[in-house]
Chain A
């Protein structure tokens, strides 16, 4: 008999989770208060300006930076693009090479690809089975000279592995190469180490609204606006204010939330390996984000797995090729050399409960077995 679809979905895909309640309250208030052009000189404009300056200050301080080093962008992707291309532009006399790991977010890969089609060189560094870049390889690439900018994510959002950002920042500093740290997906989850020259992040990923990216450029870094320099863009003041409120709230709750998520992910890692045959749980089990776990089940189609889990009331993501419009598997899983089919990515939202996770773990082995039956495995 076919079990009926569950009515209440368990959301295990925190790449997008509902707006943090604190951010929602601020957003609604700021829509009424901060609708004017923050560059206008009248009262309504000054009111918007005050909200925007406050948001900038709150986020900068929480990221261990200064308000005048922070710019709001239209997305995390836009922050990465402008950080990377602007540094390449500012340092074109030093070199035209961009160094990055093979598991960076697609926004980094796309910007690096764009540079290499416009006279630059992109150097992609391999990662180990856990998805971590090798510090020695990174050092060699930076030592080679002619490097305009190096880029490394704080942690991988797909598999959770935390990168050796502190060591890489140190060796970049030794060679005078600015390091762009892509902190999207890690801000509000783990400590952000210092030593970066540029930093990009995305408010949506810390419980803020979509459409707010953050770009930090340290004083002294040679950075130029790529494309036409234009500071008259109308920032979404209400969304920026909500992003600041969300970061404040998640930073205050972080110790408690991260500890709970860490335990639940440990439980998922252990149980999946124990109850699902022919499965590989990937990513670093220890040096990882608190809330992300990815595993691949042999002989199962990722799309079917996501669909079947969704029908049972569990929303998960997947890095399998059949879940992407391009039919290319996740570049992260491919770089790690782990199977890309039958892939499930679980990322826990802040309000996930132990009961949610146990319910997921209870249905998973049967779902996988059922899908394997269909192909006779």
Chain B
């Protein structure tokens, strides 16, 4: 089913919130991430689905600057359009 995380994805990294930032240019995906991180509980994962090439660099760097955990990039959980989802675990 397309709305489920892929079965080979370890369950602790399953996002509890998905932000669709398709078509949004830098810095909007990072702005969305910063704004919505508090919507997940500490320890939970948020996914930022973004096709902006800068997000690949900016989301891990944002995590480092803000002391959050960058889990990695995977396929977007809701569409099969090849747009990456960047996974971030709220640490604090």
Please determine whether B31 and A375 come into contact, CB atoms closer than 8 angstroms.
Answer: yes
Please determine whether A341 and B30 come into contact, CB atoms closer than 8 angstroms.
Answer: yes
Please determine whether B65 and A278 come into contact, CB atoms closer than 8 angstroms.
Answer: yes
Please determine whether A334 and B57 come into contact, CB atoms closer than 8 angstroms.
Answer: yes
Q: Chain B contacts of A342 at CB under 8 A?
A: 27
Of B25, B35, B62, which contacts A339 at CB under 8 A?
A: B62
Of B25, B34, B62, B65, which contacts A327 at CB under 8 A?
A: B25
Cα separation A333 to B54 with both chains bound (whole Å): 10
Q: Which of A322, A334, A341 has the most CB of B within 10 A?
A: A341
Q: Annotate B58-78 by CB proximity to A: 1 below 8 A, 0 otherwise.
A: 101110110000000000000
B41 at the interface (CB under 8 A from A): no
Instruction: For B28, give the chain A residue with the smallest CB separation.
Output: A375
Q: Chain B contacts of A298 at CB under 8 A?
A: 27, 30, 34, 62, 65
- Contact A301 to B26, CB < 8 A, known contacts A329-B54, A334-B57: yes
Please determine whether B30 and A321 come into contact, CB atoms closer than 8 angstroms.
Answer: no
Please determine whether B53 and A328 come into contact, CB atoms closer than 8 angstroms.
Answer: yes
Please determine whether A340 and B57 come into contact, CB atoms closer than 8 angstroms.
Answer: yes
B52 at the interface (CB under 8 A from A): yes
Please determine whether A299 and B30 come into contact, CB atoms closer than 8 angstroms.
Answer: yes
Please determine whether B26 and A341 come into contact, CB atoms closer than 8 angstroms.
Answer: yes
Of A278, A280, A320, which contacts B26 at CB under 8 A?
A: A320
Please determine whether A329 and B26 come into contact, CB atoms closer than 8 angstroms.
Answer: yes
Cα separation A20 to B26 with both chains bound (whole Å): 37
* Secondary structure class of chain A's binding surface, majority of residues: loop
Q: Which of A299, A333, A339, A342 has the most CB of B within 10 A?
A: A339
CB distance from B75 to the nearest CB of A (A): 21
Q: Chain B contacts of A299 at CB under 8 A?
A: 27, 30-31, 34
Please determine whether A329 and B25 come into contact, CB atoms closer than 8 angstroms.
Answer: no
Instruction: For A372, give the chain B residue with the smallest CB separation.
Output: B31
Please determine whether A377 and B34 come into contact, CB atoms closer than 8 angstroms.
Answer: yes
A193 at the interface (CB under 8 A from B): no
Q: Chain A contacts of B64 at CB under 8 A?
A: 337
A15 at the interface (CB under 8 A from B): no
Instruction: For A335, give the chain B residue with the smallest CB separation.
Output: B57
Of A300, A302, A321, A337, which contacts B53 at CB under 8 A?
A: A321
Of A280, A334, A341, A376, which contacts B27 at CB under 8 A?
A: A341
Cα separation A351 to B38 with both chains bound (whole Å): 48
Q: Annotate B33-53 by CB proximity to A: 1 below 8 A, 0 otherwise.
A: 011000000000000000011
Cα separation A50 to B39 with both chains bound (whole Å): 73
Q: Chain B contacts of A376 at CB under 8 A?
A: 31, 35
Q: Annotate A310-338 by CB proximity to B: 1 below 8 A, 0 otherwise.
A: 00000000001110000111000110011
Please determine whether A322 and B28 come into contact, CB atoms closer than 8 angstroms.
Answer: no
Cα separation A32 to B56 with both chains bound (whole Å): 54
Q: Which of A154-174 contact B (CB under 8 A)?
A: none
A280-B61, A298-B65, A375-B31 known; 4 new pairs, CB 8 Å cut-off, are A298-B62, A321-B52, A329-B53, A339-B62
Q: Which residues of A come within 8 Å of B, CB atoms?
A: 278, 280, 298-302, 320-322, 327-329, 333-334, 337-342, 375-377
Can you list 27 A-B pairs with a CB-CB distance of less than 8 A?
A: A298-B30, A299-B34, A300-B27, A301-B25, A320-B54, A321-B25, A321-B52, A321-B53, A322-B25, A322-B26, A327-B25, A327-B52, A327-B53, A327-B54, A328-B54, A329-B26, A329-B53, A329-B57, A329-B58, A333-B57, A338-B57, A339-B58, A339-B61, A340-B26, A340-B61, A375-B31, A377-B31
